[in-house]
Amino acid sequence: MLQNVCNAYTAFRRRLLKRSAIIVLWILCKFYIFLLQILLYFLIALYFIF
């Protein structure tokens, strides 16, 4: 009985970990794209200034 509970708990935790890892990767991707856009706008602004 206890073994089943432990197995279910570890499976649930692993699934949760996988999901949170995917969420973290998604946030990092969004942040990276955001930074790239800022860099692009900055370069375009510099290009027009000089």
19 within a domain of the structure (yes/no):
no
Does the CA dihedral 6-7-13-17 come out positive or negative? positive
- pLDDT tens by residue, the chain, 50 residues: 788 888 998 999 999 899 999 999 999 999 999 999 999 999 999 999 88
Domain assignment of residue 10, yes or no = no
Residue 3: what pLDDT? 86
Q: Can you give the residue range of the structural domain that contains 40? A: 24-50
**Residue 13 belongs to a domain:** no
pLDDT value for 44: 94
Task: Let me know if residue 38 belongs to a domain.
Answer: yes
- What distance lies between CA 6 and its chain's CA centroid? 29
Cα separation of 23 and 40, whole Å?
26
CA–CA gap between residue 9 and residue 16 (Å, rounded): 10
Q: Is residue 14 part of a domain?
A: no
Rg (CA), the chain: 22
Looking at the structure of the chain, the number of domains it has is: 1
- Chain centroid to CA 4: how far? 32
How high is the pLDDT of residue 39? 97
42 within a domain of the structure (yes/no): yes
